Amino acid sequence: MMLIPAHHFRDIERKPEYLQPEKCIPPPHPRPAGTMWFIRDGCGIACAIVTWFLVLYAEFVVLFVMLIPSRDYVYSVINGLVFNLLAFLALASHCRAMLTDPGAVPKGNATKEFIESLQLKPGQVVYKCPKCCSIKPDRAHHCSVCKRCIRKMDHHCPWVNNCVGENNQKYFVLFTMYIALISLHALIMVGFHFLHCFEEDWTNLLQAYGLTREETAEARISLHEIKQPLKVSSTECSSFSPPTTVILLILLCFEGLLFLIFTSVMFGTQVHSICTDETGIERLQRKKQRRERRGSWKSVKETFGGDFSLNWFNPFSGPRHPKPLSDRDWVRQVSSVSDTENTETTTTTTEEPSEEPKNEDFVEKHEADGLVTSM
């Protein structure tokens, strides 16, 4: 038997009762199959509400400030349909990312009976999470917010109030993509709206004096020298007053620019993680473990649910359903454990030295692993 030193662990993780299989008791009321997944985290719920509010605010400004008052009905209808479709897909993707089980490992399964049922062979080990008392399959990490070990966990995102893992990464990617698209679309419409209104107001101003652009340029008439009161309609470009319209559009510009940058970066990061078959936590930790990586195209197909089709962009179409975990998925080889050359043969219950990354906020204080070995 091997004992891996645990000098890197915090004090609470060194307590023996956290590592003894007989201390693990399955939850008395397991979650029924088909139950909706929802994380009761105050910060995450608040961020999710803010996300919906910002999307609905953009919807309000686009419709009631820019499109409905416009006299170009074709322009209004086309842009209204496109923007509303993208907004609907963004909110649907957000709901699916928030309410889908990201790949939680069964809680409390690290019991003595279950470990014995695995019938470990020489050179095989199983990792045990002392926080949720679960046996951790490969590439699973513990989330302190969800209080569960999540398979292929990338990170915990407060904006969707959930972890991004094996089962909901597709929805998170679609959410970031659609938010980036509606942000870009809104910025383009705001630009056209400003240009159109400035040009239209200037034209109406000239028509109020019975002048053309050429006559104004030749006469070099200064508006400050004209005493005649202006009679230009303020409802040409918006149903709101000019100051209110400007404030609403400036806020929309700020929101659109901020979310365009943020979601574009997140979208690119997620696509890179999928193509390289490396999660955000694995990229930060850089564990030098031998792991067979899947090809980029195979990883993309597994994430988005099969060969390329329109279902890739459909938030109501799930990813390829993962296979149920078999006994061999819980077991790993000793060669994949770091620092095995510095171990001693003393007991069956051991700890693995923690390789906690410096970025605690991103990793959410992840795992403290227990290890059961057989030699």
Q: Please spell the DSSP secondary structure of 321-372, one letter per residue.
A: PPPPP-HHHH-EEGGGSTTGGG-B---SEEEPPP---S-HHHHTS----EEE
The predicted structure's pLDDT at residue 63: 94
Token look-up 């309410």 returns 99
Higher-confidence residue: 324 or 254? 254
pLDDT at 235 over 70: no
Higher-confidence residue: 217 or 320? 320
Structure tokens given for 27: 């939850």
The predicted structure's pLDDT at residue 117: 80
pLDDT one-digit tens code per residue, 41-89: 999 999 999 999 999 999 999 999 999 988 889 999 999 999 999 999 9
Distances (CA, A) of 9 to 17, 155, 354: 15, 21, 6
Counting residues of the chain whose pLDDT is more than 90, the rounded percentage is 38
pLDDT at 221 over 80: no
Mean pLDDT (whole number) for 305-333: 75
* Per-chain mean pLDDT for the chain: 75
The predicted structure's pLDDT at residue 84: 97
What letter represents residue 31's amino acid?
Answer: R
Closest CA to 65 of 252, 241, 245: 245
Closest CA to 148 of 176, 118, 107, 188: 107
Spans of all domains in the chain: 48-208+240-285+295-319
Higher-confidence residue: 28 or 346? 28
pLDDT one-digit tens code per residue, 259-286: 999 999 999 999 999 998 888 888 887 6
157 noted as active-site residue: yes
Q: Which one-letter DSSP state was computed for residue 241? A: -
Higher-confidence residue: 102 or 198? 102
Half-sphere exposure of 173 (CA within 13 A, CB side): 23
Q: Which one-letter DSSP state was computed for residue 319? A: P
Q: Count CB atoms within 10 A of the CB of residue 63.
A: 16
Please work out, in degrees rounded to the nearest 5, the angle formed at the alpha carbon of residue 114 by the alpha carbons of 109 and 120. 125
Confidence of residue 327 (pLDDT cuts 50, 70, 90): low
The predicted structure's pLDDT at residue 31: 61
pTM of the model: 0.74
Confidence of residue 367 (pLDDT cuts 50, 70, 90): very low
The predicted structure's pLDDT at residue 210: 56
Token look-up 């679309």 returns 185
Characterize 142-158 residue by residue with b for buried, 16 or more Cβ atoms within 10 angstroms of its Cβ, and e for exposed. bbebbebbbbbbbbbbb
Is the distance from CB of 300 to CB of 319 less than 8 angstroms?
no
What letter represents residue 252's amino acid?
Answer: L
Exactly one of 129, 143, 146, 157 is catalytic; name it. 157
